A and B are shown apart, each in its own frame.
Chain A
Amino acid sequence: MITVTHRENPRVRTEVSSDDPLEVSEIISLSGLAPRDGSPVHLYSNGVRLMQSESVSPGQVVEIGTCSLIENMVVSHISTKAGRSSIGAGELPDGSIGHAPGGRIGDSLWVVRHVQHRSRKDTRITHAQCHSFNLEGDPYSVGDLVRATPTPDGANSLLFDPRTEEWSILLRVSIPGNMDAEEVRERYRGLLWTIRILSTGDGGGEHSGVLVPKLTHLPAARRNRS
């Protein structure tokens, strides 16, 4: 007997009957807990994700999980204001403070996390840098503010696609015309950029956008670099 519990819903518990070790895919299928909506699914043993090729022996307890990357956040305050643009902040389901460019107070946003760090003022608080998208239609529209870490040449990045939960939308990134492109690439290399969407491809194809420097955090050490 192999016991299967549900990672996101611990009340759910089932048993798969077998005298022999079973492969991960067999357990997922036999558990009756496999997603029916095409969502990705994994098995975990002692908190570690099992590879598809691994097998599980009778007597083991494993967890099944779908680990959605999409979270909900209601904007409670503005954490950064720069002219007419701002970054809205609110509590994420695990208690972290999410920060999403373009969020206004009261907005209920679907977001994905990029990076997170402990607050320097209070180490019990975690800040997560996120961006929001639409779940009802096309995920992004012209004018939306997203986040991405472009390639070293600052030209391309992959944008989160909430329909598949993969980072698969090609985003061509440009630099504002009033800035020195070479200098920007040097200063912002490897950082999480805030980008305003300029165009969206049909059916989730290639998107393009431009760096929004005022909403992109630039460490002090890089600010005065010549």
Chain B
Amino acid sequence: MSDGFEGSGISSDEIVELRIWYPSMRAVRGHGIGNGNHRVVILNLVGVRSHTDDTKLMYRLLLDLSNFPNSQPSAFVLSPRDEDIKHVNIGNGSFTNLVPNRKVCSICLGGGSASAFTSWPRERLTRMRGFLNHLENVLNTPNTASRARG
């Protein structure tokens, strides 16, 4: 029986399920994969400003789910803007094919995170919830040993 891992991206039904805990999650139109799933979603997560300033702020994120659930998604910050970001694990702005005419900042997810992701149970929503949990953790506990800026 299929575990759904042959279909990359995320389905509308899965987004409905995830929106219980992440109501801000939305699929970005125009990034369909061809299997009916969405390649790109955006959502908000709360994190700290930096390792020296634990003021909470809202990060607006974009996730690239091209290879989800087989591989860990890529995560980018849409806002705050590049020049206003102080978090050491968020890289400097660069252009991607996901957002035209706009620089976005890639989030450094940690050295072992990709292999940890693939070791998780082969259950799509479990992996996505685990990933979002990890992302929330990264945004709230800046790791100065793994600087992507500053």
Contacts and interface: CB of A to CB of B under 8 A. Distances in A.
- Are A and B part of the same complex? yes
B78 to A, nearest CB: 6
A39 B20 contact: no
Contacts of A59: none
A122 B121 CA distance: 53
B16 interface: yes
A137 B62 CA distance: 10
A37 B99 contact: no
B63 interface: no
Contacts of B149: none
A8 interface: yes
Pick from A34, A135, A203 the residue with the most CB of B within 10 Å. A135
B61 to A, nearest CB: 9
Interface in B42-101: 42-46, 58, 60, 62, 78-81, 84, 99
A12 interface: yes
B60 A37 contact: no
A37 B45 contact: yes
Interface in B1-36: 16-17, 19-26, 28-30
A37 B23 contact: yes
Contact of B23 (A66, A138, A203): A66
B20 A6 contact: yes
A37 B20 contact: no
A24 B136 CA distance: 25
A108 interface: yes
A12 B45 CA distance: 22
B132 interface: yes
A135 B29 contact: no
Contacts of B43: 37
Contacts of A70: 26
Interface of A: 6, 8-9, 12, 33-39, 66, 68, 70, 72, 108, 110, 135-138, 163-164, 203
Given A8-B19, A36-B21, A39-B22, 15 more contacts: A8-B20, A9-B16, A33-B20, A34-B21, A35-B20, A36-B132, A37-B44, A37-B45, A38-B24, A39-B23, A39-B24, A72-B26, A108-B29, A136-B28, A137-B99
